[in-house]
Amino acid sequence: MLSKVITGSVLTLLSCSLLSAAPYNAQAKKDRAAMIKYMEAKFKNPKTAAKFFPYTPKNELEHNFIWGFPFQEFGLGDAGYVKSVRAQFDNFMMLPPFYNAVDNGEALYHKKFANGNSFATCFPNPAITNLYPKFDDKTNRVVTLSEAVNNCLIKNSESPWKMTGMKMAYLESYLASKTTAAGKKFDIKIQSAAAAKAYRRGKIEFYSQRGYLDLSCATCHVLGAGKRTKADYHSPLLGMIAGFPVYRLKWGHVGTLEKRLVGCNKNQGEVPHKPNSKWMGDLEYFMAYMSNGIKVNAPSVRK
Ligand code: HEC
């Protein structure tokens, strides 16, 4: 009897320690696998399309959708699955409008700070954009790529840059082009309980309905991926940040992810969040984790 009790409690203890040893990214891993399954099924073939797109005209599904495209092409945003957008995209990529942004970024990367250091001192390997955002356990917050750039400036007694500004977009264009050339895939890590909490906050932000229209990001970019607002098709959450910074025809120049997200807040009928806020960091952390396994393909071009 006694031995049974002891065995029981030892087992309980064991299973508790096993539970607490569950990797911090366990939930995120599950979420990502489910997202891939959903998106791949959604864009697999026109035969099952009616289940996902009951209101899209048949003609549009038959003639303007690319079905069963390779997983990596989720990194192309709406050009991944819309034939007309892909044709436009391919045209632009023949003579990319962002090439001078990459050159400007390269010059900024090598330019000496007043103390003689440069960004090359902070980031000796420029091919790093697939690793951001990162969670920093010391400061207990997410560090986005733009924040990492600013931390480098501050460490070298320089003034930080505007995260939605041109210098930031240029430097990040250079870093992203190097990451793309190296063929690197998003590899966002969740390695502590605090990091798992930040991911969870970002996920809640993505799925919460907000603004006077009462929409969530997921309304348009998960359930609504493959549907459109007027003529604009919604890109799927999977791989959604792989093309940043992007050259937007609407802007006529490259812009950072923060610049785009501030615009999304406004579109959603909300007062935009600050680019360097915890809110923005958590949201980007969630979105980037969902892009894990997808190659950085940036800078890119969007409408
Ligand atoms: C009413 C629908 C709608 C809602 C809600 C919405 N978006 Fe979008 N979003 C769009 C459309 C349309 C575009 C332009 C087409 C595209 O690239 O998806 C876009 C573009 C984007 C892009 C650029 C994608 C790219 O490939 O360039 C990002 C990033 C983005 N949205 C994030 C968000 C986030 C985060 C939220 C919530 C805070 C959000 N969106 C809410 C409709 C929406």
Q: Is 264 a catalytic residue?
A: yes
| C-alpha to C-alpha distance for 142 and 279, rounded to whole angstroms | 10
Query: Predicted confidence band at 134 (pLDDT cuts at 50, 70, 90)?
Result: very high
Provide residues with CB under 6 Å of ligand 1. Answer: 77-78, 215, 217, 219-221, 229, 232, 234-235, 240, 243, 246, 260-261, 264-265, 267-268, 283, 302
The single residue of 152, 217, 220, 264 carrying the catalytic annotation is 264
- Break the chain into its structural domains and give their ranges: 27-303
| C-alpha to C-alpha distance for 230 and 155, rounded to whole angstroms | 46
> For 93-97, 106-110, 116-120, 227-231, which range has the lowest pLDDT when averaged over its residues?
227-231
Q: In the predicted model, what is the mean pLDDT of the chain?
A: 92
Quick one: CA dihedral 108, 112, 114, 116, positive or negative?
positive
State pTM to two decimals: 0.93
Q: Give tens-digit pLDDT for 100-123.
A: 999 999 999 999 999 999 999 999
Q: What is the mean pLDDT of residues 283-295?
A: 98
Query: Predicted confidence band at 20 (pLDDT cuts at 50, 70, 90)?
Result: low
Looking at domain 27-303, which CATH architecture does it have?
Orthogonal Bundle (1.10)
| C-alpha to C-alpha distance for 277 and 209, rounded to whole angstroms | 19
